[in-house]
């Protein structure tokens, strides 16, 4: 008889344990459970309201849960034209298909939409991803925005009180008018909620049409001079310092574990399919020493050829990272 497990026993919720093992975000883990893909001690479960301990044996799609790896965080300069997902039903290119092959399995901290670019944080720890996404964490997201139209600083200052758009209430937003460029304006926008398409919708409410949106900071982590399409790891000591003891405890971060989880080559994916092709290569490749040094790695494009900068839509060369004027 399999060992029984109840929701009242000490331990942690099974979806939380799955998230910390890097299987998926907690929400996606709960969906896996509801789909009957998760078993505990040999018995399939259908509810995430279940506590498990270290003695319990968890399997997903018949494969054992990989042993937990050290909590890691990466800065990624997302280009325009990629969706922030592992697979896209419309067949659009995804960020995870463009990441370097030697990275561990990662999930994103929040999202940037198809036409947005800039800093995207990636982690192997679902618990950390969830903690950093929560509005209660209070981390500021800062953007450089180019928009078609005209606006006054006085109108932008009104956003500090929050605003309701189409029945959705948005919290306080700090926005500064940096300069005018032809028919466009450049703004710096800071917010702490990060609701879906928040910047675009709020500025549209002011009569502006956003045509370029670049995230330059997420909490204490900045885009800096990270080039388009590259990724760099945040060193463990810096990550521990930036999170602080309270947030690290809330996320359940582990800074002492091995870099790679046990049985990672057997771990399931979001889709439930076993890794094949390029994804299998990511898991089997030796770790690149540049990841320990924080040096950036390029994606899967042909990096032996010098890439030409895309032209800016307003004309002229496209800057690597627009700066306030």
Catalytic sites, residue numbers: 113
| The pair of three-digit structure tokens given for residue 127, joined into one six-digit string | 């618990």
293 φ/ψ sector (left φ>0, alpha ψ -120 to 50, else beta): alpha
Contacts 24+ apart (CB under 8 A), 178-181: 178/324, 178/325, 179/325, 180/150, 181/146, 181/314
* Cβ count near 323 (within 10 Å): 11
Q: What is the spatial distance between Cα 107 and Cα 99, in angstroms, rounded to a whole number?
A: 12
Q: What is the spatial distance between Cα 105 and Cα 294, in angstroms, rounded to a whole number?
A: 18
For residue 305, give Cα distances in angstroms to 14, 79, 301, 308.
Answer: 46, 18, 9, 9
Q: What is the spatial distance between Cα 146 and Cα 208, in angstroms, rounded to a whole number?
A: 9
CB-based burial, 77-97: b 16+ in 10 Å, e otherwise? bbbbebbbebeeeeeeeebbb
The C-alpha angle 211, 215, 220, rounded to 5 degrees, equals 165
Half-sphere exposure of 48 (CA within 13 A, CB side): 16
Parallel, antiparallel, or unpaired for β 116-123 and 209-218?
parallel
Q: What is the spatial distance between Cα 170 and Cα 176, in angstroms, rounded to a whole number?
A: 17
Residues paired with 179 in a beta bridge: 186
């Amino acid at each position: 008889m399999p060992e029984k497990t109840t929701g009242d026993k000490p331990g942690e919720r099974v979806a939380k344990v799955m998230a910390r093992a890097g299987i998926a975000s907690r929400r996606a883990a709960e969906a896996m459970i509801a789909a009957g893909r998760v078993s505990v001690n040999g018995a399939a479960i259908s509810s995430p309201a279940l506590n498990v301990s270290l003695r319990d044996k968890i399997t997903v799609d018949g494969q054992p849960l990989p042993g937990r790896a050290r909590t890691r965080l990466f800065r990624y300069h997302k280009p325009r034209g990629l969706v922030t997902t592992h697979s896209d039903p419309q067949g659009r290119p995804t960020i995870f298909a463009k990441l370097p092959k030697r990275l561990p399995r990662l999930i994103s901290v929040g999202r940037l939409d198809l036409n947005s670019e800039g800093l995207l944080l990636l982690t192997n720890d679902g618990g950390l991803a969830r903690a950093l996404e929560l509005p209660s964490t209070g981390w500021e997201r800062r953007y450089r925005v180019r928009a078609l139209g005209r606006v006054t600083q006085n109108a932008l200052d009104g956003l500090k009180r929050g605003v309701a758009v189409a029945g959705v209430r948005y919290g306080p937003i700090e926005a500064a008018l940096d300069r005018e460029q032809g028919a466009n304006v450049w703004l710096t926008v800071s917010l702490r909620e990060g609701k879906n398409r928040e910047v675009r919708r709020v500025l549209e409410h002011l009569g502006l049409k956003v045509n370029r949106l670049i995230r330059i900071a997420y909490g204490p982590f900045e885009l800096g001079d990270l080039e388009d399409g590259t990724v760099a790891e945040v060193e463990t000591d810096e990550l521990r310092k930036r999170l602080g003891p309270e947030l690290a405890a809330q996320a359940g971060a582990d800074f002492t574990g091995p870099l790679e989880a046990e049985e990672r080559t057997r771990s399931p994916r979001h889709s439930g399919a076993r890794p094949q092709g390029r994804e299998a290569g990511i898991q089997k490749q030796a770790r690149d020493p540049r990841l320990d040094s924080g040096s950036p790695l390029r994606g899967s494009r042909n990096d032996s050829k010098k890439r030409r900068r895309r032209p800016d839509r307003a004309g002229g060369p496209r800057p690597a990272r627009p700066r306030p004027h």
